[in-house]
Amino acid sequence: MSETPQAPRRGSRNKRLAVALATFTVGMVGLAYAAVPLYTLFCQVTGYGGATRTAVAPAVAEGKARINVVFDANVSDNLGWEFHPEQEKVSLMTGETRTVSYRLKNPTSQPTVGIASFNVAPAVAGQYFNKLQCFCFTEQVMKAGESRDESVTFFIDPAIEQDPQFEGLHTITLSYTFFPDKKPVTEAGKAALAGMNKLSN
């Protein structure tokens, strides 16, 4: 007889446990989705993992060291674009602002949308590589057969000269990779694609 009143309490405990587990699962899924943009933001702020920094103004003054910057361009097999830098490398002083162009072409018969990610090597150089203007992480809508230039404007913080990790460093590689844009296309992108389709018909 004493076990009978415990049954409802046990059922109540099971329901509370189920709700708690469901809440935990939903929370973990939410954190997983949030982790990517948060990690990207962290990398851009700190330069961790070869991510460059975003600057709002050029360097105050040039430094004393000269560094070569090599440009690398890659395209995912799923996109089918052609992509390459207009020049393979530049030599510049730390603190010197430079703009470099990349040539982008969609040789396919369909308009497509791509987006570029980037990193620098060695990875620890990211905290000193500052972009003033860039086409990375921006939806690029390309009509069939279209070609155009995209540019990146950057400088290397003269503070790199004081970092013992960079003693004797002469070369930094800036690498871009274009992927098909997996995010929903923006309204502007949809309008551009619709206009391209009308022109092709």
pLDDT tens, residue by residue, 97-114 = 999 999 999 999 999 999
Which stretches of the chain score pLDDT less than 70? 1-12, 14, 16-53, 183-201
Instruction: Assess contact for 194 and 91: CB atoms under 8 A.
Output: no
What's the pLDDT at 60? 83
What's the pLDDT at 20? 62
* Longest distance between any two alpha carbons in the chain, whole Å: 89
What's the pLDDT at 58? 81
Instruction: Assess contact for 168 and 66: CB atoms under 8 A.
Output: no
What's the pLDDT at 19? 63
What's the pLDDT at 194? 58
Pick from 64, 174, 166: nearest CA to 130? 174
Structure-token match 């003033």, residue found: 132
35: Cα within 13 Å, side-chain hemisphere = 6
73-94 pLDDT, tens digit each? 999 988 999 999 999 999 999 9
Distance CA 62, CA 132 (A): 16
Burial class of residue 144 (count of CB atoms within 10 Å of its CB; 0-12, 13-18, 19+): middle
Q: Is the dihedral of CA 143, 144, 148, 152 positive or negative?
A: positive
Tell me which long-range contacts 15-20 makes (C-beta under 8 A, separation of at least 24): none
The helix/strand/coil state of 94 is coil
pTM: 0.66
What's the pLDDT at 55? 73
What is the DSSP-derived secondary structure letter of residue 88?
Answer: S
